[in-house]
Amino acid sequence: MMILGIESSCDETAVAIVRDGQQILTNQIRSQIDLHRVHGGVVPELASREHLNSIHHLIEAALAEADLSPEAIDGLAVTQGPGLSGALLVGLATAQSLAWLWNKPLMGINHLEGHIYANFLAFGDQIRFPLLVLLVSGGHTLLIEMHEHGSYTLVGTTRDDAIGEAFDKVARLLGLPYPGGPEVDRQARSGNSAAFDFPRSLPDSYDFSFSGLKTAVLYALRKIDGPPPVADICASFQQAAIDSVLDKTFRYARARGIQQVSITGGVSANSLLRSRLQALQREFEVFMPPLALCTDNAAMIAACAAYRWQPVSALNLTVRPRWPLVTGTTAG
């Protein structure tokens, strides 16, 4: 099955073509970082306009790179939500128009479920069920037990800020440029992670909380006379944030006897997270997507559609994410 995927949920316009859910023929991504950097964050109206300017060029580029005509495409997949409404509508309207014009089936994909399939693209048949998924991104922090394709149990979620959001807010407190997460990671590499004793929230729960950690950074800054030790603060904050997500993830995996763990989402590109996970490879089989598939992309959307193929009429697709995520833990 040859699926053309479209992703436009936030500030990356992306188009990809994936064969049989595993082989990426082309993965076109146009970032808007330079556009939004001067504003210190994503401006929704600007993002929507840039999606409009880019999306048709990327579709043409994808077909050209894959050396395919529209007739060779078996179906289309598009991010249906969650995300910025205006940005999503650009991708949805484009996908609906192509599905009607090319007479092809169309499937709407939940953006978060799409992230899970980044590792299926990279590792395919190596992944077995049950699979424990840690999804860490700018807007979400989720711990999910995946029983099979399309069957999930939500183990834990954030009660306030997502981990990526916390990284960005700490970067702003320190006067670091947008995007904040990668800059905190970069600064932390030369810092002392034991310089500040920042809290690890909700130690007895599988839920996450990063608001208190962010506030602890703010209070620490207020106590400092003179220029703050930026690298040390970044390293200490990052250590606390990564400790929190990994401690809960592997505590649950041990309690449930789950041997395979998948880390995905934009924060899965964090260097400390990836190095800590490498150290756990002797006890668990840990899957981390290649860096190109950590952040938003259309290949993961197309791959998810291939595994979960349930097309609908193009005219019936709206900004309503569909994801069979069952709330409640299965932990003993």
pTM given for the model: 0.92
Burial of 149 (0-12, 13-18, 19+ CB in 10 A): middle
Region 173-186: mean pLDDT is: 95
**pLDDT tens per residue across span 297-328:** 999 999 999 998 877 666 666 555 556 565 54
Contact 298, 7 (CB under 8 A): yes
Domains of the chain as residue ranges with CATH? 2-117+295-327 (3.30.420.40), 127-292 (3.30.420.40)
Whether residue 262 contacts residue 289, with contact meaning beta carbons closer than 8 Å, is answered with: no
pLDDT tens digits along 38-69: 888 888 899 999 999 999 999 999 999 999 99
Exposure of 20 in the CB half-sphere (CA atoms within 13 A): 4
Give residue 330's pLDDT: 42
**What is the Cα–Cα distance from 174 to 218, expressed in whole angstroms?**
9
Alpha-carbon Rg of the chain, whole angstroms? 20
Which DSSP string corresponds to 234-260?
HHHHHHHHHHHHHHHHHHHHHHHT--E
